[in-house]
Structure 1
Amino acid sequence: MGGNHTQPKFILLGITDTPWARAPLFGLFLLIYIITLVGNVGLMVLVWVAPSLHTPMYFFLAHFSLADVCYSTIISPKMLTDLLFGNKTISWAGCVTQFHLFALFATAECHLLATMAYDRHVAICHPLLYVTVVSPWACWQLVAWSYLVASLSALIYTSCTFGGSFCGPRQVDHFFCDASPVLRLVCSDTRASEAAIFALATANGLGTSLVILLCYGRILRTILGMRLAPSRARAFHTCTSHLVSVSVFYGALFFMYLQPASRHGSRDKVASVFYTVVSPMLNPFIYSLRNKEVKAALGKCRRRMLNHCRHQRDATHGIRESWNALGWKGH
């Protein structure tokens, strides 16, 4: 590291350097983070406990929520701590770990979204083969492949980002350790690293988006060929939530990573906030508010909990009455 064998520390400049804005931003992002955790963890638990949601579509959705929780947790707690206490330093190991895990789960989300599009394609275009093609074993294979590709990609992203020599002020002009602001601090030539990151981001981003486009092209052709209007409406409805998530996630992601590093600027922070903080909060609402199956499963779980609480209360009341009766007889 430029002749200095000690591991450097970085300073995250954060979202804002205006003191009066830190408290409102802390409150806003804390609320968003709490909603993100409650929404995504609640959706995962609902998929786990509701038998009606034990289908491939919701299996993939549960892993998508898990990725949302993970990479939001990688970013938000550090950002909230910096806003609250103003201590914006992060160690070398912390910066590398944060970026590596963020790259892993963000890339996994790209492949999970493509997997969910393939699931909808088989369900609508080949419904008779759905149980065979999207079997439980196939679901685990697709999810494992998503995490495997994401892990290998994250290793390459991390080695390219932190493999150079750092010198001078180590101030990262961002609220977390991301590739572009970190590479600006490298003294050595970064053109090869930038090209490798750009090529891999293009392969992951455009590759998965191409799969999504191909799947929905086939889906659209199949839907338009349906004779009954209710069947077309039902098929469109099953794809709406996924299309909204794809639009939100890929819109910000393409703006951030499918451009040369020289074009990155202050607008990156706005885009980063959108897909690292806001998007994970929105996904549970996107998949639950317009989804009859999720709302029905949530209603059943709520009624089951209320009935359980009512039975517990009745049992406790019965035991108390028995004790009172025994005590009365004792007198």
Structure 2
Amino acid sequence: MKTDNQSCGAEFILLGLFQFGRMNIVLFLAITVFFLVAVTGNIGLIYLIELDTRLHTPMYSLLRQLSFIDMIYISTTIPKMVANFISNNKTITFVGCEIQTFVFLLLGGTEALLLGFMSYDRYVAICHPLHYPALMSKTICLSLVTSAWASSSFNALMHTLYVFQLPFCSSRLINHFFCEVPSLLPLVCQDTSHYEYTILFSGFVILLIPFLAIIASYARVLTVVYQMSSGRGQKKAVSTCSSHLIVASLFYGTAISTYMRPHSLRNSEQEKVVAVFYSMITPLLNPFIYSLRNKEVLGALKRLMGK
């Protein structure tokens, strides 16, 4: 097949999530509302945690980081998709596609690692409460956040630089609504099977290991919780952990389905639907799951409204 020169002036065409039509306009309006609600919800949670000194703990510091990531995460894909739909211009420049891929991998990887660290925080708080100040000090919390950003930056940079130096075929049609590594590989004019093992390894380290760690942590937490004599303590622990588990299952389940699925089982249309969950739904739900199911956050909100 014929290959195109990957100059900075080259463009890709994003086929998008929807085309013009009555139902697609409804879907477009719904996604626009989702975006505005997600950004507002995450900004509100960040502001609330910053404002209320009672929430200045490692747990809420990690939650604030999560909200910041989600706010930028959803802003990486939806504004471009909305602009393309309104203008009916589905192109994205080569450099723009490269930047979008890097930022999406960076934020997605950081969130995956951060969710794992949040389960460690809950595990220490419930299973080793007397040692919590030492095991989850501000210094350790900062180190965990820094390591998440640094590890994900390296991973995102490695994959972005490699993919965008590959020879792309003359077709630049990306069957997706944003630039993502799995959706770009079908456009490459050379065998990428060896590189896909690298993607699988990255998915194992950044997605699967944290997810398994979360499951192991909460298995231990549930054991300790049901040994508690206090029914109130049981309810509070289960409520906090179940909120985190809901978010984690939705995020990891859909991301693993995309990044760790064999090439022979890939389906572009299915992958677009799955991508909606980890790129849109999760950032939308996170602030509400953590606030509506958390008495401390609700208490801070009531105090703020009272003032």
Is TM (by shorter chain) over 0.5? Answer: yes
SS at match of 2:187: coil
* Cα separation, 2, equivalents of 1:69 and 1:262: 34
Please say if residues 114 and 208 of structure 1, whose CA atoms lie closer than 8 Å, have aligned partners that are also in contact.
Answer: yes
* Cα separation, 2, equivalents of 1:288 and 1:43: 8
- Give, as a single letter, the amino acid of the residue that structure 1 aligns with 2:101: F
* Cα separation, 2, equivalents of 1:25 and 1:168: 31
The counterpart of 1:251, out of the listed 250, 253, 276, is 253
Quickly say closer, same or farther: Cα 1:90–1:38, change in 2 above 3 A: same
- Give, as a single letter, the amino acid of the residue that structure 2 aligns with 1:183: L
Please say if residues 110 and 208 of structure 1, whose CA atoms lie closer than 8 Å, have aligned partners that are also in contact.
Answer: yes
* Cα separation, 2, equivalents of 1:166 and 1:3: 6
Please say if residues 164 and 190 of structure 1, whose CA atoms lie closer than 8 Å, have aligned partners that are also in contact.
Answer: no
**Residue of structure 2 in register with 1:227 after alignment:** 229
Please say if residues 180 and 264 of structure 1, whose CA atoms lie closer than 8 Å, have aligned partners that are also in contact.
Answer: no
* Cα separation, 1, equivalents of 2:87 and 2:242: 41
- Following superposition, the deviation at residue 44 of structure 1 comes to 0.3
**Residue of structure 2 in register with 1:116 after alignment:** 118
Aligned runs of 1:264-275 on 2, under 5 Å?
Answer: 264-265=266-267, 266-275=269-278
**Residue of structure 2 in register with 1:288 after alignment:** 291
The counterpart of 1:82, out of the listed 84, 94, 98, is 84
**1:28 and 2:60 matched:** no
Question: For structure 1, which runs of at least 5 residues remain unmatched after alignment?
Answer: 305-331
- Give, as a single letter, the amino acid of the residue that structure 2 aligns with 1:179: V
Q: What is the CA deviation profile of residues 246-276 of structure 1, one whole-angstrom value per residue up to 9, with x for unaligned ones?
A: 1211121122111023322111111111111
SS at match of 1:25: helix
**Residue of structure 2 in register with 1:99 after alignment:** 101
* Cα separation, 2, equivalents of 1:224 and 1:31: 41
**Residue of structure 2 in register with 1:321 after alignment:** none
Please say if residues 10 and 170 of structure 1, whose CA atoms lie closer than 8 Å, have aligned partners that are also in contact.
Answer: yes
**Residue of structure 2 in register with 1:4 after alignment:** 5
- Give, as a single letter, the amino acid of the residue that structure 2 aligns with 1:43: L
- Give, as a single letter, the amino acid of the residue that structure 1 aligns with 2:300: A
* Cα separation, 2, equivalents of 1:5 and 1:242: 42
Stretch deviating more after TM superposition (201-210 or 58-67) = 201-210
- Could you state the TM-score of these two structures normalised by the residue count of structure 2? 0.95
**Residue of structure 1 in register with 2:178 after alignment:** 176
SS at match of 1:90: strand
Structure with bigger gyration radius? 1
Percent same amino acid at aligned positions? 38
SS at match of 2:92: strand
**Residue of structure 1 in register with 2:160 after alignment:** 158
Quickly say closer, same or farther: Cα 1:3–1:16, change in 2 above 3 A: closer
**Residue of structure 2 in register with 1:299 after alignment:** 302
- Give, as a single letter, the amino acid of the residue that structure 2 aligns with 1:13: L
Q: What is the CA deviation profile of residues 135-176 of structure 1, one whole-angstrom value per residue up to 9, with x for unaligned ones?
A: 111110010011011101111221332231012210000000
Quickly say closer, same or farther: Cα 1:22–1:81, change in 2 above 3 A: farther
* Cα separation, 1, equivalents of 2:170 and 2:3: 10
After superposition, the CA RMSD in angstroms is 1.6
Question: For structure 2, which runs of at least 5 residues remain unmatched after alignment?
Answer: none
Please say if residues 160 and 193 of structure 1, whose CA atoms lie closer than 8 Å, have aligned partners that are also in contact.
Answer: no
**Residue of structure 2 in register with 1:38 after alignment:** 40
- Following superposition, the deviation at residue 228 of structure 1 comes to 3.3
Stretch deviating more after TM superposition (221-230 or 125-134) = 221-230
Structure 1 runs (4+) greater than 4 angstroms displaced? none
- Give, as a single letter, the amino acid of the residue that structure 2 aligns with 1:171: L
**Residue of structure 1 in register with 2:282 after alignment:** 279
* Cα separation, 2, equivalents of 1:303 and 1:223: 34
Please say if residues 176 and 272 of structure 2, whose CA atoms lie closer than 8 Å, have aligned partners that are also in contact.
Answer: yes
Please say if residues 6 and 94 of structure 2, whose CA atoms lie closer than 8 Å, have aligned partners that are also in contact.
Answer: no
